A = this chain, B = another copy of it.
Amino acid sequence: MIKSNFSISENDIIDKYLKKLNFNKVESFNFKNDGAFFKTKSNKVIVVTNDSINENIDFFRNDSPESLAQKIVTYNLSDLSSMGANPYSYTLSLSLPTNIGKIWIKNFTKKLFYLQKKYNFFLLGGDIGKSDQINISANFYGYIQKNQILKRNSSKIGDSIWVSGYIGQSHIGLLLKQKKIFINKKFKNYFINKYLFPQPCMFGSNIVSFANSCIDISDGFFGDLSKLLNKNKGVDLYYSNLPFSKYTKSLISKKIVSPKVLLNGGDDYQLIFTSSQKNDAKIINIAKKNKIKITKVGKIINQYGIFFRGSKIKILNRSFQYHF
């Protein structure tokens, strides 16, 4: 409808920067068709995730293209992992302002290339359009053995509740970026880096045979934990077990941040999963073998809510990501 006025043409973006991301896979038709396809694998189904990043919601205008590449990949890989799937391919829908230039595209696609090699997936196709704001939407695809898909709502009473990695570091980074808290420069960069470059925990596919339920933490530990529950199920929380890094603990002890804010924060991209208590030793072993830090943080009980020493914990209603 309106003429292109990117400082680099869309065809150049596709030919020079995006084409190398298809890894020459036949499924992409080398970007020369109206769509792509999936190979059928016997006894496996394909799972699909759909996650977007929007300016001022998921990132700031001046954040680097590398950070945006990291986020669109991590948001989606984390969803795949929480379902127990390994990544295979993805589509990418880019809406970009016309002042986006060659360097931006180059750095954005270079980071994508790095992450595709690291996690072993390729670009199937997509589209590019113009927009006042940066908006990036992706669908990621992974294969999984039939009937092994991990779900949110299938935890069982008595299940141990596990969480991977550390909680709250990305949220501290966000508070620092927003100048809502202030700390010394060395720590500051550490946390802001956690916000700008969140890493997915690709542990889901290792526990499909043992976990009863799984979710990734995007909206905050409490918010996402509560999505594992229903009106007949709740959580008895081992509060002192909650995994905060030593840097985070130091900020907590100085009262710069509160645990409550961090547990309601978001963008951790760690996994919360539940598994029968009798699997505890097995789960610990699998985690050790895969060099994944996990912590047992509670158990599923037959009363709705999240409880600590018998008192119900109030969850702030602050969901930012609206999946359906």
* A interface residues with partner B (beta carbon < 8 Å): 1-4, 10-11, 13-14, 18-19, 29, 31-40, 44-58, 78-80, 82-83, 85, 91-93, 95, 124-133, 135, 137, 139, 144, 146, 149, 151-153, 174, 215-216, 318-324
Contacts and interface: CB of A to CB of B under 8 A. Distances in A.
Given A34-B83, A127-B321, A133-B133, A1 B50 contact: no
A323 B241 CA distance: 49
B215 A324 contact: no
Contacts of A39: 45
B50 A125 contact: yes
Contacts of A144: 37
Query: Which of the listed residues A49, A151, A322 has the most CB atoms from chain B within 10 Å of its own CB?
Result: A322
A10 to B, nearest CB: 4
A13 B319 CA distance: 14
A57 B57 CA distance: 23
Given A83-B33, A83-B35, A131 B133 contact: yes
Query: Which of the listed residues A33, A44, A132 has the most CB atoms from chain B within 10 Å of its own CB?
Result: A33
A48 B38 contact: yes
Contacts of A132: 132-133
Given A46-B38, A95-B54, A128 B322 contact: yes
A179 B219 CA distance: 47
Contacts of A38: 38, 45-48
Contact of A322 (B34, B129, B151): B129
Nearest to A78: B34
A40 B45 contact: yes
A72 to B, nearest CB: 11
Nearest to A75: B127
Contact of A1 (B47, B58, B146): B58
Nearest to A52: B93
A237 to B, nearest CB: 22
Nearest to A19: B324
B2 A33 contact: no
Nearest to A1: B57
